[in-house]
């Protein structure tokens, strides 16, 4: 299968040059490659989306799925997995929906650990509805709904994911398609709930938070939760501040929702749950040396 075979005839209404186009192209490449390798069939893939610029991917990707209400793509995706545990489900959402109306679903999804992938397009603004701030918008961001600027500290969803029992957390850059495809593939192949955050620019709104590429650096796949907490703490989502680690920030192998439910487990091939304690890789976090007082 060619990635172009996953294109639809729908008119693309994203802004010219929008990073969403790169996310779409990367998704097509990864899905088509996995089909060509005979790991999956076209009908094995399904998607859910909700409301927002990001969710227009539903119209442009020739994969079965359902377009949900704002913030509700995740529970719908989990419902798909319960209905057919063999599906490879991907939920595409925005930072405005998943970290606001969808926050409760986000937290509980890690506990359930359904074998599916959540892809969050994070541009730190409600771009479809003219740029209102989202839960990850930086302090001081001026918009029509916040003319005095955002007063509150943005949330750190990666730290929240770790606290909620995540088994796979990764971050990538929409402009780095090669890295994005690598992360997507690892997320889809992970047995459990995989959470991928994509840092992307909006060309129209909250442009002051754009162009963070120079602050990004890549890390090796990490299986140490202690190291993951330090990595997640490096970037606090405020503009022009802090290094931004990219890659698989944390992964661990634990029973999935489908394996925990006897009704669903019967439909799955058997697999072994291997311990990750011995395989854990330590990620060095640089510390400033304290000066000794004379």
Q: Give just the sign of the alpha carbon dihedral 48, 183, 139, 284.
A: positive
Residue 290 within a domain: no
Q: What pLDDT shows up at residue 294?
A: 43
Mean per-residue pLDDT of the chain: 91
Q: What pLDDT shows up at residue 263?
A: 86
Helices (H) and strands (E) in the chain, counts: 10, 8
* Pair 40, 88: CB distance under 8 Å: yes
Cα(162)–Cα(225) distance, integer angstroms: 8
Residue 292 within a domain: no
- Of 81-85, 136-140, 253-257, 262-266, the least confident: 262-266
Cα(207)–Cα(201) distance, integer angstroms: 7
Asked whether residue 273 carries a pLDDT value surpassing 90, the answer given is no
Asked whether residue 97 carries a pLDDT value surpassing 70, the answer given is yes
User: Any alpha helices (H) in the chain, and if so which ranges?
Assistant: 20-36, 57-60, 73-83, 95-98, 103-112, 157-163, 177-189, 225-232, 257-260, 262-265
Residue 278 within a domain: no
% of the chain surpassing 90 pLDDT: 84
Asked whether residue 281 carries a pLDDT value surpassing 60, the answer given is no
Whole domain around residue 223: which residue ranges? 3-265
| Cβ neighbours, 10 Å, residue 16 | 7
Q: What pLDDT shows up at residue 279?
A: 46
Asked whether residue 198 carries a pLDDT value surpassing 60, the answer given is yes
Number of domains, the chain: 1
Residue 270 within a domain: no
Residue 291 within a domain: no
Residue 157 within a domain: yes
Asked whether residue 280 carries a pLDDT value surpassing 50, the answer given is no
Tell me the per-residue pLDDT of 109-147, one tens digit each, with 9 for 90 and over.
999 999 999 999 999 999 999 899 999 999 999 998 999
In terms of Cα–Cα distance, which of 70, 84, 68, 81 is closest to 109? 81
In terms of Cα–Cα distance, which of 130, 153, 152, 124 is closest to 143? 130
* Residue 208 C-beta-side C-alpha neighbours within 13 Å: 15
Torsion, Cα of 12, 13, 14, 17 (10° steps): 70
Residue 280 within a domain: no
Cα(175)–Cα(267) distance, integer angstroms: 39
Asked whether residue 79 carries a pLDDT value surpassing 80, the answer given is yes
User: Domain of 100: which CATH number?
Assistant: 3.40.50.970
Compute the average pLDDT of residues 25-36.
Answer: 97
Tell me the per-residue pLDDT of 207-251, one tens digit each, with 9 for 90 and over.
999 999 999 999 999 999 999 999 999 999 998 888 999 999 999
* Residue 286 C-beta-side C-alpha neighbours within 13 Å: 4
Cα(188)–Cα(194) distance, integer angstroms: 7
Predicted TM-score of the model (pTM): 0.90
Residue 104 within a domain: yes
% of the chain surpassing 70 pLDDT: 91
């Amino acid at each position: 299968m060619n990635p172009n075979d996953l294109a639809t005839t729908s008119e693309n209404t994203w802004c010219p040059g929008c990073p969403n186009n790169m996310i779409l192209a990367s998704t097509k490449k990864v899905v088509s490659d996995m089909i060509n390798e005979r790991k999956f069939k076209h009908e094995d893939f399904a998607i859910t989306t909700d409301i927002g610029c990001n969710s227009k991917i539903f119209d442009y990707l020739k994969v079965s799925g359902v377009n949900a209400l704002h913030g509700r793509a995740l529970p719908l995706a989990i419902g798909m997995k319960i209905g057919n545990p063999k599906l490879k489900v991907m939920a595409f959402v925005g930072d405005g929906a998943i970290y606001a109306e969808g926050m409760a679903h986000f937290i509980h999804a890690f506990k359930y650990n359904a074998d599916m992938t959540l892809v969050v397009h994070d541009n730190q603004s409600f771009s479809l509805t003219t740029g209102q701030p989202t839960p990850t918008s930086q302090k001081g961001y001026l918009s029509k709904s916040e003319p005095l600027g955002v007063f509150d500290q943005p949330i750190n969803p990666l730290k929240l994911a770790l606290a909620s029992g995540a088994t796979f957390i990764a971050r990538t850059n929409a402009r780095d398609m090669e890295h994005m495809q690598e992360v997507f593939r690892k997320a889809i192949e992970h047995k459990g709930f995989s959470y991928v955050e994509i840092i992307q620019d909006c060309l129209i709104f909250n442009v002051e938070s754009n162009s963070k590429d120079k602050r990004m650096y890549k890390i090796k796949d990490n299986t140490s939760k202690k190291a993951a907490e330090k990595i997640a703490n490096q970037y606090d989502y405020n503009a022009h501040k802090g290094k931004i680690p990219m890659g698989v920030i944390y992964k661990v192998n634990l029973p999935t929702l489908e394996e925990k439910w006897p009704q669903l487990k019967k439909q799955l091939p058997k697999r072994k749950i291997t311990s990750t304690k011995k395989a854990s890789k330590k990620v060095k976090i640089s510390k400033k040396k304290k000066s000794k007082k004379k």
